[in-house]
Amino acid sequence: MAYTPFDLTGKVALVTGGNRGIGLGMAEALAASNADVVLWCRNAASADEAVAKLKTLGTGDATAFSVDVSDEQSVVDGMALTNAWKGRLDTVIANAGVSARGIPFIQQDTQTYRDVLSVNLDGAYWTLREAAKVMVERAKDGDPGGSLMVTASMAAVEGAARNQAYAATKGGVISMVKATAVELARYGIRANSILPGWIATDMTSNAQGDDKFEENVIKRVPVRRWGKPEDFGGIAVYLASDASSFHTGDTLLVDGGYSIF
């Protein structure tokens, strides 16, 4: 018998902030593995191109909804729409995030701190909570299972100068995921954190091409390059698939070996 645990046919996956960067890299791999994929972004029209591409990658469907994860009611309403789209929800990736990197700690203002927390920590909390409600209810109806993921960051486990608010949120979501993994395991629901290293996305655009940064940081990456959004496709598919049915509460570094060198 063929071993096909990575075929996601019939599974529905949600990726917040999935219209670009790491989120899009994960969404594309999920779609190519035949999942039905939902993207959340503040303006669904901005995801039209991404949705069109996702529909060509596998046998599944794709759509996008306008959801502001920093607004609790928007998340509640968005999760209801997402669950109603195909009548189920199997995988949720809380990926939407912002950064305020580059401002010295003693110059950072409280509003910026609150803005980062509202997206990265509050948004992840509300997204996972509302997804858990859907998955627990399905389990009580005799259909257990589900995979929850959060895009954390290497900044959660290593010093991130001038990035205290961002680092705090990413450390926070790791703890949130561990608690969730323990509590929801009885329903067959898994929860894991993905920790990217230095990835070439809009968030790191200021550092890309900077000779000093490339020399001092990227040359320290054992793989000797920037990470790419597509580097996260495999881990997303694995955690969404039945192959990871006994894998929960973990923090998975995807950093080209940077953190151990």
Of the residues 33, 70, 147, 153, only one is catalytic, namely 153
Of the residues 99, 170, 238, 244, only one is catalytic, namely 170
189: closest CA among 127, 123, 138?
Answer: 138
Distance CA(183)–CA(187), nearest Å, equals 9
Which ranges constitute the DSSP H helices of 217-261?
233-240
**Does 113 qualify as catalytic in the annotation?**
no
Identity of the residue numbered 49: E
**Does 166 qualify as catalytic in the annotation?**
yes
Distance CA(113)–CA(116), nearest Å, equals 5
Distance CA(161)–CA(119), nearest Å, equals 20
Query: Going by C-beta distance under 8 Å and a sequence separation of 6 or more, which residues neighbour residue 121?
Result: 168, 169, 172, 173
30: closest CA among 7, 48, 53, 46?
Answer: 7
Q: In the Cβ-directed half-sphere of 176, how many Cα atoms lie within 13 Å?
A: 26
**Does 125 qualify as catalytic in the annotation?**
no
Of the residues 11, 33, 166, 241, only one is catalytic, namely 166
DSSP at 105: G
Active centre residues (catalytic) = 153, 166, 170
